[in-house]
Structure 1
Amino acid sequence: MKKYIIISTLVLSFAFAKAQTTTILDTIYANDTKNVALFFPEPIRQGITGSDNFVFTYNREKEQYFGLLQAKPGKESNLLVVNRNGSIFSYIVRYKKQLSKLNYFISLSNSIGNEKPIKVDSILAESSEERVDNRTYYYQKFCSYLLNRNQRIGRIKKRNEGIVLSVENIVFDKEELYFVIQIENNSTLDYDLNFLKLSVETRQKGKKKSLQRLYQEPIFKHNMPSKITENETVRFVYVLPKFSLSNDRRAIFELHEKDGERNIELKISHSYINNPN
């Protein structure tokens, strides 16, 4: 029997959506001779600008509360920042030769929303439990099928001190990309996995070259290990929503060891992402 969630006011959600579309973004000015500092209420998890004549730098290794903005002469753009708690901040950024303000202290009230959906008592909707179960079942079956195949997309491999990370296959099915991944431990020490994450890296051109990374959240993981013992090889699958990359972008898998330094960054060209099996 289908379950239903009974809720109450559609007007509230409509008003909320309408308010979002009419939000006027504040403007932050920057130039190429000074650092403009932006201090946020929570540590920065992601930050990206819409044009390569603006550069926003922040600590990607250890989350901190501030980032630095610089700009070259050119058209205005935008800056999008996501805090650790999911709060989203968006600003118009412009070049200005003379700056009257170098520090911006941003409060939580300036957030335009949160990346996690907010539950609002406003909809009469069918429960999605059964649909989620069916989708999970399909992911499991298709991932198992891919692990039993010998198909490879190319030589995508990186090693560090006896640890070998490789992407054997990238497959497109329905609306998802499936990454078949292998980790080999050819060392004499067990490898405790801290995390393996996929990011999209934008290579910005110009005199002030910089790299910006945007984390891609997997929607399903199949046979994901927590430890790879010595001389062991494990294979598993990451499932992500389908995406494509322009020539100035590439995907990067970051493998980090727990309480160790045998870390690996495996770079994947946009051509592999755009032409999956």
Structure 2
Amino acid sequence: MKKYILTKAALLVFIMTSAQTQEKLDTIYANEYKNVALFFPEEISQGITGAEHFVFTYNREKQQHFGLLQAKPGRESNLLVIGTNGSVFSYILKYKKQLSRLNYFIPEAERIGKEKPVVKDSVKDKKPQKNLNKKEDHYRRFCSYLLSKKQHIGRIKKRKNGIILSVENIVYNKEQLYFVIEIENRSSLDYDLNFLNLAIETRKKGKKKSLQRLYQDPVFKYNLPAKIGKKQTVRLVYVMPKFSLSKERRAILELNEKDGERNLKLKISHRFINNPN
């Protein structure tokens, strides 16, 4: 099975980079005594080595930007890494007893191609597609930056049956509100996510008090999982068009479990929405 995955990945890189076959790949050295850390510009989706005496480990459950490389004596091989945004990186691997370098910070310019090419329907679509990619690239970069910070806007949290839903931060940037959300599963069962929605709730005054709820669609979702494993925590970002709320209104974040009853509704006061970081 491992050989099949490697062959398929190698074929993909060959197709996507046929125009770059003359490009000389960098070499990374490793041994069995020390961890060599590789930091990539985007989270790692897949990492494959060409031989078993080279081992590349990375977090498969909670995607991160770095992986660790170790090696045993043997012939040279190669490392193929595919990022969550489809970027492809490839390096020659060699064993070396004495290592002069233990950390590699990989720039985006070193990617050799994309896992899937961008298909444009017609000549008319070129400008809109370019602008869309620019926006999404900005959203992605800023979301990644926010997840690296430890800034908190206040205590906005809801607990139920070992599931904790919280809004860590609300940030305003370029006409958008960024909601930094954390879902923690302290239970002994995996949590399959059905949906995570944001709505605006209005209290109607009068003899018969009622609530009216209007759902808001994010313009971008970053790091939204399909499952939160037991004893795991996931942090994600929802990018929403800028809005403000009166005292009679508030935001509601709804977390719903697929085929389960561990559902949470987190109320967010107008004060947090109107005073973002």
Q: Tell me the TM-score normalised to structure 2 length.
A: 0.55
- Given the alignment of the two structures, is residue 134 of structure 1 paired with residue 134 of structure 2, yes or no? yes
Q: Distance in 2 between matches of 1:129 and 1:229?
A: 36
Structure 1 counterpart SS, 2:208:
coil
Letter in 2 for 1:273: I
Q: 1:231 aligns to what?
A: 231
Is 1:270 the counterpart of 2:270? The answer is yes
C-alpha offsets along residues 165-223 of structure 1, whole Å, 9 cap, x if unaligned? 00000000011000000000000000000000000000111110000000000000000
1:204 counterpart = 2:201: no
CA distance in 2, matches of 1:219, 1:266: 21
Residue 227 of structure 1, CA deviation:
0.2
Query: What CA distance in whole angstroms lies between the structure 1 residues aligned with 2:136 and 2:206?
Result: 45
- What is the match of residue 246 of structure 2? 246
**Counterpart-to-counterpart distance in 1, 2:125 and 2:239:** 27
Does 2:248 match 1:256? no
Matched, 1:160 2:194: no
Q: Deviations over 1:125-156 (max 9, x none)?
A: 97311000011010000000000001000000
Q: Go from structure 1 to structure 2 and tell me whether the alpha carbon gap of 1:261 and 1:129 turns closer, same or farther (over 3 Å shift).
A: same
Aligned amino acid, residue 272 of structure 2? Y
| Counterpart code for 2:191 | Y
Distance between the aligned counterparts of 1:140 and 1:179, measured in 2? Answer: 13
SS in structure 1 at match of 2:250? strand
Cα distance between partner residues in 2 of 1:261 and 1:220? 27
1:1-277 equivalences in 2 (<5 Å): 127-277=127-277
- Which residue type is aligned with residue 153 of structure 1? I
Distance 1:206 1:161 in 2: 36
2:244 is aligned with what amino acid? S
Which 5+ residue runs of structure 1 have no aligned equivalent? Answer: 1-123
Distance in 1 (alpha carbons) for counterparts of 2:224 and 2:162 = 20
Paired with 2:145 and 2:126, the residues of 1 have a C-alpha distance of 31
Secondary structure, in 3 states, of the residue corresponding to 2:207?
Answer: coil
Superposition deviation, residue 250 in structure 1: 0.1
Structure 2: 5+ residue stretches without partners: 1-123
The aligned amino acid for 1:258 is K
What is the alpha-carbon distance in structure 1 between the residues aligned to residue 151 and residue 223 of structure 2? 18
Cα RMSD of the aligned pairs, angstroms, is 1.2
In 2, distance between residues paired with 1:212 and 1:242? 20
3-state SS in 2 of match to 1:127: helix
Secondary structure (helix, strand or coil) at the match of 1:193 reads strand
| Cα distance in 2 between the residues matched to 1:186 and 1:162 | 5
Distance 1:135 1:205 in 2: 40
Amino-acid identity (%): 66
1:89-145 Cα distance to aligned partner (Å, 9 max, x none): xxxxxxxxxxxxxxxxxxxxxxxxxxxxxxxxxxx9973110000110100000000
CA–CA separation in structure 1 for the residues paired with 2:236 and 2:126:
33
Letter in 1 for 2:136: T
Taking the aligned partners of 2:130 and 2:182, their CA distance within structure 1 comes to: 32
Aligned residue pairs: how many? 154
- The aligned amino acid for 1:148 is S
2: distance between equivalents of 1:256 and 1:218? 17
Comparing both structures, which one devotes a greater share of its residues to helix? 2
